[in-house]
Structure 1
Amino acid sequence: MGQKLQDGERLRPVDLARGHGLSTQAVRNYEEAGILPGAARSPYGYRVYTPLHAYALRAFLALRPGFGHATAASVMQAVNRDATEEALRLVDESHAQLLADRRTLRAVEVALRDLDPVRPERGDTFVGPLSRRLGIRPATLRKWERAGVVRPRRDPRTGYRVYGEADVRDAQLAHQLRRGGYLLEQIAPVIEQVRSAGGVAPLESMLRDWHARLSARSRAMLGGAAALNAYLEHRGQ
């Protein structure tokens, strides 16, 4: 709400709704879900809201873009039942996940950069030569295959695994990410993105978008945290 609120002021559901571009039903739903503190009732049974509810609604709406609806709701529910430490833990966990996402992005960028000087050889190769080239055991390549990280085809006559240029690229990228400490279940989706993009070069645009999304999320989390802090202060916590 844009106007200055006074502590003793009483607000109708429609006042709270209009000030935030919501329906009165949405406001009631948020109260029933514990996102807003419980409202008092007038002698006629109508809900009576206060500036405290406006601060709570602002905090929830500000938290949602950066933290997501579920986490924002859980944070507000924890605050409203006086479990502030739990609410702050949820905030901290979201910031930790953002940092982990940034580290993953950095690892992918480093891995892709390290691929540049080592272009895949033209033509096909087999388990032995590829494992020697990467400095890993053949069993490791087979493990990566089971995890969906590499997808060599089979020679129809011999049944041997045959790695094409794209397969070698995927194995190189996986090798770099494994050296960075990433698990196969974390690597497989990245490799799939490389395949979907049609190679490494188109990923440059994806990485720029990834950076932009993380920055936008970080800014949104800052705004959400500020609004949450204002709500906590108004509650005297």
Structure 2
Amino acid sequence: MAFLSSPEFWIALSQIILINIVLSGDNAVVIALACRSLPPHQQKKAIVFGSVGAIVLRVILTFFAVYLLSLPYLKLIGAALLLWIGVGLLKGEDGEEEMEGHSNLAAAIKTIIIADLVMSLDNVIGVAAAAKGNVPLLVFGLVISIPLIIFGSTLILKLMNRFPVIITIGAGLLGWVAGDMALTDPATKNFVEAHHYLHNILPALGAVLVVVVGKWLASRGEEPATADQPAA
């Protein structure tokens, strides 16, 4: 249990929790849509069973991601993917599709599990990157994410709508983790060791890149809507 006294452990755990909070908005919407046609007494069951099943699959996927990220060049690919996810988060295009509500409990649970699995790639990559191969940290972070998803979905959405800065901070964090991930790829190990300054520059550059590009693309996406408004 000595790792509990390590500042690095708590910093990484905080990153995992924030990544889960920021990236669970899609999953919260999926849960709400899948359960909206159920009788009230079945909605809570669908949320609990569907979320638990989805998280079990997410844990399995994340363990695979931790292993894959130990192979050469895959961390560089993962870093690029994290940058793309962070930019997309600020751009505001999550690719959510319309989802049919179910009046059957089993069908709603199945929909929640499958949809969460498909939409959890960003969570899996982000959590695996923040954990940096630390299995106790990985398990701890994922266990903490369970109540966040089951009980905190509505609160998360309300907080994001009320305090948009949470989304910006989360996107910047993904960029920071992406830069840090690129530094630890086996293919770049020797180069990074010869240039120690990259440890400070690359993560910060990743965070700035995500926020600047994401905000720029978001502003471009708002321009056509403004231009299409009829003149008074």
**TM superposition score normalised by structure 2:** 0.25
More helix by proportion, 1 or 2?
2
